[in-house]
Amino acid sequence: MTAPRKPLSPTRLAVLKAIAQNVRYGFDIMDATQLPSGTVYPILGWLERTTLVRSRWEAIALAQRDKRPPRRYYEVTATGARALAVSIDHYRALSAAGGLGLAKPRRA
Amino acid sequence: MMPRHRHQSDASWSAFARQTFGQGLWLVRFASMLVPACQRDEWMAEWAAELFHRIDALDVAGLLDWPARWNVFVRCAGALAHALSVRFADSRQNMLIQDIQYAVRTNLRRPAFSLVVIATLALGIGATSAMFSIVDAILIRPLPYERSSELVSVYGAIATAGAATDRTYISPPDYLDYREQSSAFAAFAARTAFGTAVLAGQHGDAPERVSIPFVSANFFSTLGVKPIIGRGFLPSEEDGNGHDVVVLSHGLWQRRFNGDRGVVGATVLLDGERRTVIGVMSPTIERTFPDQMWRPFIFHIEESSHRRAHMLRGIARLKPGVSIEQARANVDGIAHRLAAIYPEDASWHLALVPYRDIVVGNVGPALLLLLGAVALVLLIACGNVASLMLARATTRESELAVRVALGASRTQIVWQLLTETLLLGVAAGAVGLAIAALFVRVVHAVAGGILPRLSEVGINANAVFFTFALSLVTGLVFGIAPAVLASRQSLAGAMRSLGRTSAGGRHLRVRDVLVVAQVALSLVLLLGAGLMLRSLWMVEHVELGFEPRHVMTGQVTLPRTYQTRVDVERFWDTFLARVRARPGVQLAAGATALPLRGGSDTRYHLDGHASDADADGLLAQIDIVTDDYFSALRIPLVAGRVLGPVDRAGGSEEAGHGSIAINRSMAARLFPNGNAVGKRIVLDFGQPFSGEIVGVVADVHTFGQDVGAPDIVYVSSHQVAGNFDGRIMNLVVRTKGDAAVLAAPIRAALTELERTVPFSDVATMERLLGDSTAGTWFRARLLAGFALVALILAAIGLYGVLAYAVTQRTREIGVRIALGARRGAVMQLILVRGLTLVGAGLVLGVGAGLLTTRLLDRMLFGVSTTDPAVFAAVIGVLALTALAACLLPAWRATRVDPITALRAE
């Protein structure tokens, strides 16, 4: 599947960017993005369905050694990396063009 | 691939972490029910793992505090949104958010309706959450001690042919034998139930009587409490090396010593003797023991070596894995061995009761009953809201028809309607939480001394969690039926013309059922409240056997310098004379036991009967009284004479004989043929004391109004004092006017006479009476409050259904009136319908009431659980209220203008 043409929504972008920066687990992504669990997890599901990220389970042996349950981690696919680049370019261009007109630039 | 792993907390975590994990996991598991079964295990595994890691990281770093825990719970609550997104990933990726947005808009469009729903439910949820947090703190949560389920209270028990008692005391030699021999106890400690001393004032403080029981050296370690400074008692201090050491309670240390850490090693004056403070105990122990100080019990001395001197209460810690039944068998075995060695004490053994049961006492059933009652109120509130939703659903038919026409499936309609009600439920839960906090605060203010463990009651994570779950369940309960019905209706509605509202016949029938149920439930609550109030009335009108008005009481504790009975007698003669001289005082007397203050028991037997075995040992309360006691309390004389100045001669404790008075029911039982006066009974005062009955007086309710009158033997203070600790006596003053104002003058009279003697437990007799019924009042008020809310809700529900029916039938009524129906007939039409519902509800309610009021049995005094007067009164109140609720809609029906009604079509 190719990367979506349209840029990602800001929240999806935030989640994807966090994963790209090697924040791999659900709760850690919430910390990094400051988004609630009810937002992050549905987005992770969407990103996985659209193959922008893929998820794996940690090796059981590793977890058993530390006496803890294995965690599921997420990583960005090649498609995801392209979509990330496209979206970042988009928002950057938008910002350069004066943003969404929400913020009033004060600095010279 | 998905790894399988059991969801369990880590053994190394703190209890707080394990609890957080358990509750978080519960939330997640709750949400997981929405996840399609094929994905559920994997979904759970991911959430459980994330939860585990978060709590592990926080716990290891020591950062798991209340805000962090809250944060975790909020995340777990988000699992619900996640589960929904998984569930509807294919068909409706964004439908949930749309549903919620739509639901918010719908609810906001009708703010009055939403507010009524939220307020009604919030009341129910708030009261239920508050009752839950009370039940949780008192009944569910473990005691503040480590592994508190291992703690058992140990009592002395006698099995005799007559009456068996299993809540009495253990003698010190018995205690030592059991402590040594028991294999079931990890530790076995003892504490005397008595023990007070006068703590001398320092730096100008007034002297004060403090409770300072004697305890075995292992008392604190058995409970698992540690001193916060200094140390507890050493085993060697049980052997007499520790007669001069004391441990302070945290409360006394804070209040009396301002929390000064230098107090350890300091000397205090107790009963005029010097004692060294060796430690201050952790405040935990004060949650279940009222003690202010402790001193070591000295075994192996003459006074502690009598096997018949029962004076200790035990508390033991069972060995891990040992059940209380096994422990009972173990101590019974020891009792058998001891019986063989000491045959004269063969009937004594030990009784074990879980310590928790002792602390919680008998409030358990009452609390659960109140929780049940408040849940019924919530159910009635749900009924009202469901009824409102049904009524609204009919007016929304056209809206739903449009949605169906546009292709909404039935599931989607149900889901949409449920989202609306769940939203209302959650909003009501939030408001309810605030109401619960308020409720708990009120309970703290009024239930002091009534509820055990009150300091632990509060709105905590458990309560928040319960409220959240409750509001979801509530939303489902009142939402599901209207939603399903409305969706079914909407298919039919779609066929009809969009502008017209249908009669909604099915809705009305469902609402009828709701009203019947509401009437029945509120009848049950009203019956409970009615019985409690009637029982209170009975309690307050018990023949007390004395006149409580205008009586002031207080306790006087003389120092050890008053050694002989003559010393004590001289003090009281002077003191009472000075009190009598005060203006406003009519009579003054002293007594070791007072009505409503309890007292101590002694064995006795009838003169001429052998006394060598326990078998014929009878127990009676001993009250040593001064001359004017009976006239001061106005206890009526039944036969013979009262004790008085004449008893200065004619006997004494030392002589082994004297005069006594007994109460009427004791006299009637011992001497069924009458004529108790002149007979003798032999009392066990350490040595036998043969008392000649010179008078019989009325029964006095010594242990509270709702307990039968005990046997009391009155002896004159001129004759007896010594072994009964005559140094502690109650002052009774009959006043001419208000009794309360005399406290200060009496205290002054005492101080003039003896500067260091404290005047404690000062209270008017009327207040003592009030205190004795405070618990019953508390329960009755709560139940009556709940019943009143239920009654109002049921009336509103009934009114709503009838008013709606009148609106729906406006046209029909118009036609009837146009055709010549009289107003009376129209009114009858509506009234009959309403009263049929009420009648059905009453019949059901009486049936349910007969089944449920049985639960009240042990809380009632002098009233049967099926008291016909209460049933009739309650049915009357409910029927009248229901009639009032019917009248307005019925009257409105008669005002229908036929022309307007027909033109509207």
Report how far residue B557's alpha carbon sits from residue B511's, in angstroms, rounded to the nearest whole number: 68
CA distance B436 to chain A (A): 27
Structural tokens at position B599: 């007292």
Instruction: For B242-257, write each residue's pLDDT tens digit.
Output: 668 999 999 999 988 8
Q: In residues, how long is chain A?
A: 108
Q: How confident is the model at residue B544 (pLDDT cuts 50, 70, 90)?
A: confident
Q: Do B7 and A38 touch (CB under 8 A)?
A: no
Residues of A in contact with B12 (CB under 8 A): none
pLDDT on residue B649:
84
Q: Report yes or no: A78 at the B interface, CB cutoff 8 Å.
A: no
Q: Do B75 and A36 touch (CB under 8 A)?
A: yes
pLDDT on residue B495:
53
pLDDT on residue B598:
60
Count interface pairs A-B at CB distance under 8 A: 75
Residue in chain B lying closest to A57 (CA): B2
Instruction: For B63-94, write each residue's pLDDT tens digit.
Output: 888 888 888 988 888 888 888 888 776 555 45
In this prediction, does ipTM exceed 0.95? no
B599 against B725, higher pLDDT = B599
pLDDT on residue B615:
46
DSSP element (H, E) containing B733: strand B728-735
Averaged pLDDT for residues B137-149:
86
Residues of B in contact with A70 (CB under 8 A): 3, 5, 45, 49
Q: Do A45 and B3 touch (CB under 8 A)?
A: no
Above 60 in pLDDT, residue B863? yes
- Could you tell me if B645 and B719 are in contact, meaning their C-beta atoms sit under 8 angstroms apart? no
Range list of β-strands (E), B172-328: 185-192, 196-199, 208-211, 214-215, 227-230, 245-248, 267-270, 273-281, 293-296, 312-318
Report how far residue B804's alpha carbon sits from residue B825's, in angstroms, rounded to the nearest whole number: 19
- Could you tell me if B389 and B482 are in contact, meaning their C-beta atoms sit under 8 angstroms apart? yes
pLDDT on residue B331:
92
CA distance A16 to chain B (A): 17
Q: Report yes or no: A39 at the B interface, CB cutoff 8 Å.
A: yes
pLDDT above 70 coverage of chain B, percent = 91
CA distance B130 to chain A (A): 29
Above 90 in pLDDT, residue B694? yes
pLDDT on residue B143:
86
pLDDT on residue A27:
92
3-state secondary structure B570-630: HHHHHHHHHHHHCCCEEEEEEECCECCCECCEEEEEECCCCCCCCCCCEEEEEEEECCCHH
Q: Do A68 and B93 touch (CB under 8 A)?
A: no
Q: Which of B204-213, B317-326, B715-724 has the lowest mean pLDDT?
A: B715-724
Residue in chain B lying closest to A38 (CA): B78
Instruction: For B205-250, write each residue's pLDDT tens digit.
Output: 778 888 899 999 999 999 999 999 999 999 888 887 666 899 999 9
For residue A37, give the nearest of B1, B56, B82 by CB distance.
B82
Mutation target for A interface from B82, B91, B96, B100: give the one with most A CBs within 10 A: B82
B172 against B495, higher pLDDT = B172
pLDDT on residue B1:
46
CA distances to B152, B320, B516, B863 from B324, in Å: 8, 11, 48, 36
Nearest by Cα to A26 from B195, B50, B515, B730 = B50
For residue B5, give the nearest of A30, A38, A69 by CB distance.
A69
Instruction: For B244-303, write each residue's pLDDT tens digit.
Output: 899 999 999 998 888 888 899 999 988 888 899 999 999 989 888 888 999 999 888 877
pLDDT on residue B575:
92
Above 50 in pLDDT, residue B503? no
Residues of A in contact with B75 (CB under 8 A): 27, 30, 36-37
Q: Report yes or no: A42 at the B interface, CB cutoff 8 Å.
A: yes
- Could you tell me if B405 and B494 are in contact, meaning their C-beta atoms sit under 8 angstroms apart? yes
Q: Report yes or no: A71 at the B interface, CB cutoff 8 Å.
A: yes
Residues 6+ apart with CB under 8 A from B815: B898, B901, B902
Nearest by Cα to B805 from B511, B517, B519 = B511
Structural tokens at position B146: 């480590």
Q: Which residues pair with B603 in a beta bridge?
A: B619
pLDDT on residue B864:
87
Q: Do A26 and B46 touch (CB under 8 A)?
A: yes
Nearest by Cα to B227 from B188, B277, B268, B287 = B277
pLDDT on residue B614:
47
Above 50 in pLDDT, residue B162? no
Q: Do B49 and A72 touch (CB under 8 A)?
A: yes
Above 70 in pLDDT, residue B861? yes
Residue in chain B lying closest to A70 (CA): B49
Q: Do B77 and A30 touch (CB under 8 A)?
A: no
Q: How confident is the model at residue B613 (pLDDT cuts 50, 70, 90)?
A: very low
Q: Do A45 and B85 touch (CB under 8 A)?
A: yes
For B410, half-sphere exposure in the C-beta direction (CA atoms, 13 angstrom radius) is 11
Residues of A in contact with B46 (CB under 8 A): 26, 71-72
Report how far residue B269's alpha carbon sits from residue B201's, in angstroms, rounded to the nearest whole number: 8
pLDDT on residue B661:
94
pLDDT on residue B702:
64
pLDDT on residue B498:
43
pLDDT above 90 coverage of chain B, percent = 20
Averaged pLDDT for residues B688-702:
88
pLDDT on residue B165:
65
For residue B50, give the nearest of A25, A36, A58 by CB distance.
A25
pLDDT on residue B726:
61
Q: Do A41 and B10 touch (CB under 8 A)?
A: no
Q: How confident is the model at residue B763 (pLDDT cuts 50, 70, 90)?
A: confident
Residues of A in contact with B58 (CB under 8 A): none
Structural tokens at position B489: 């209706």
Instruction: For B419-443, write each residue's pLDDT tens digit.
Output: 888 888 889 999 999 999 998 888 8
Residues of A in contact with B78 (CB under 8 A): 36-41
DSSP B121-184: HHHHHHHHHHHHHHHIIIIISPPSSTTGGGEEEEEEEE--SS--EEEE-B-HHHHHHHHHH-SS
CA distance B57 to chain A (A): 12
Instruction: For A92-101, write each residue's pLDDT tens digit.
Output: 887 777 655 5
The pairing of strands B227-230 and B601-606 is unpaired
Q: Which residue has the tokens 């949400």?
A: B31
Q: Do B81 and A41 touch (CB under 8 A)?
A: yes
Q: Report yes or no: A7 at the B interface, CB cutoff 8 Å.
A: no
Q: How confident is the model at residue B493 (pLDDT cuts 50, 70, 90)?
A: low
**Long-range CB contacts (within 8 A, 24+) of B609-618:** B611/B682, B611/B684, B611/B688, B612/B344, B613/B344, B613/B347, B614/B158, B614/B160, B614/B345, B614/B347, B614/B348, B615/B160, B615/B161, B615/B162, B615/B347, B616/B162, B617/B160, B617/B684, B618/B162, B618/B711
For residue A70, give the nearest of B5, B74, B85 by CB distance.
B5
Residues of B in contact with A36 (CB under 8 A): 74-75, 78
Instruction: For B1-49, write each residue's pLDDT tens digit.
Output: 444 555 677 778 888 899 899 889 988 988 888 888 888 888 999 999 9
pLDDT on residue B310:
78
Q: Which of A15-19, B176-180, B725-729, B828-832 has the lowest mean pLDDT?
A: B725-729
- Could you tell me if A17 and B54 are in contact, meaning their C-beta atoms sit under 8 angstroms apart? no
Structural tokens at position B884: 């009032």
- Could you tell me if B844 and B520 are in contact, meaning their C-beta atoms sit under 8 angstroms apart? yes
Averaged pLDDT for residues B327-336:
92
What average pLDDT does the structure give for chain B? 83
Q: How confident is the model at residue A107 (pLDDT cuts 50, 70, 90)?
A: very low
Residues of B in contact with A53 (CB under 8 A): none
Instruction: For B361-412, write each residue's pLDDT tens digit.
Output: 777 788 888 888 888 888 888 888 888 888 777 777 777 777 777 777 777 7
Q: Report yes or no: A38 at the B interface, CB cutoff 8 Å.
A: yes
